[in-house]
Amino acid sequence: MSMFSSGMSLQADLSHLKNDFKLQDMVVSSPTTWLTYMTGIALSEIVYSIPALAVLVLLAHYYLVFDAFGVLEFVGVLLLMFFASMAVGYTLSTFSSDIVQSFAFTRLLSMLFSTIPPVYYPIAYIPLPYRYLAYLSPTTYAAEIAQNASGFQPTTTAMLALDWTILIAITIILFIIAARKARWREI
């Protein structure tokens, strides 16, 4: 959830830089591509998140059991969630006209993607008819992968493969949407 929130906060930062400082106007007039611009701003979000990530890594070291593959799996799912939320945040920032509007979208989406899906608890805790709603969120698939990697909630190999496939597909689709629908030059 921390990585998803970091990617979504990209929306508010980009909106602020675009609307208040007119930075995006300068970047658009340069040979910089939207992907380079978004990547640079996203790296700043990661740097800003380092204290929270350090605490989470420390807690994971003491309370979770990872093997080498589990660590790679966990890092991979964190990066995929960051990339997916980064694409959503970037796309929405190009449409927002006010920083207050961006903050509202960021908080609303972060709340929706962290409370309905089983980010803080196993999906088995959601009653079956409502469980399908949780699967509408990419954070559900990321949570299942992370919970399996840590040994908290083991899952079948088939379900794990499905989770990875869906999460990778969602991330790719969100980047395609960002590339095609975001207003990069039409400001």
Average pLDDT rounded to a whole number, residues 152-179 = 94
Q: Which of 7-21, 81-95, 160-174 has the highest mean pLDDT?
A: 160-174
SS (H, E, C) the chain: CHHHHHHHHHHHHHHHHHHCCCHHHHHHHCCCCHHHHHHHHHHHHHHHHHHHHHHHHHHHHHHCCCCHHHHHHHHHHHHHHHHHHHHHHHHHHHHCCCHHHHHHHHHHHHHHHHHCCCCCCCHHHCCHHHHHHHCCCHHHHHHHHHHHHCCCCCCCHHHHHHHHHHHHHHHHHHHHHHHHHCCCCCC
| Structure confidence at residue 164 (pLDDT) | 97
Q: Could you tell me the residue ranges of all domains in the chain? A: 2-181
Q: Is the distance from CB of 170 to CB of 138 less than 8 angstroms? A: yes
How many CB atoms lie under 10 A from the CB of residue 156?
9
Question: Which class for 120: exposed (0-12), middle (13-18), buried (19 or more C-beta within 10 A)?
Answer: exposed
Quickly state the pLDDT bin for 185 (edges 50, 70, 90).
low
Of 78 and 97, the structure prediction assigns the larger pLDDT to 78
The pLDDT > 70 percentage for the chain reads 98
Q: How many residues are listed for the chain in this entry?
A: 187
- For 93, the token pair is 């920032």
> Is the predicted pLDDT of residue 39 greater than 50, yes or no?
yes
Averaged pLDDT of the chain: 88
Lowest mean pLDDT among 21-25, 33-37, 79-83, 134-138: 21-25
Average pLDDT rounded to a whole number, residues 148-162 = 92
| Structure confidence at residue 160 (pLDDT) | 96
For residue range 97-141, list pLDDT tens digits in order.
888 888 888 888 888 888 878 888 889 899 988 888 999 999 999
Quickly state the pLDDT bin for 187 (edges 50, 70, 90).
very low
Alpha-carbon distance of 49 to 142, in angstroms, equals: 19
Alpha-carbon distance of 165 to 162, in angstroms, equals: 5
Lowest mean pLDDT among 14-28, 141-155, 160-174: 14-28
| Structure confidence at residue 170 (pLDDT) | 96
Quickly state the pLDDT bin for 95 (edges 50, 70, 90).
confident
Q: Is the distance from CB of 164 to CB of 144 less than 8 angstroms? A: no
How many CB atoms lie under 10 A from the CB of residue 152?
14
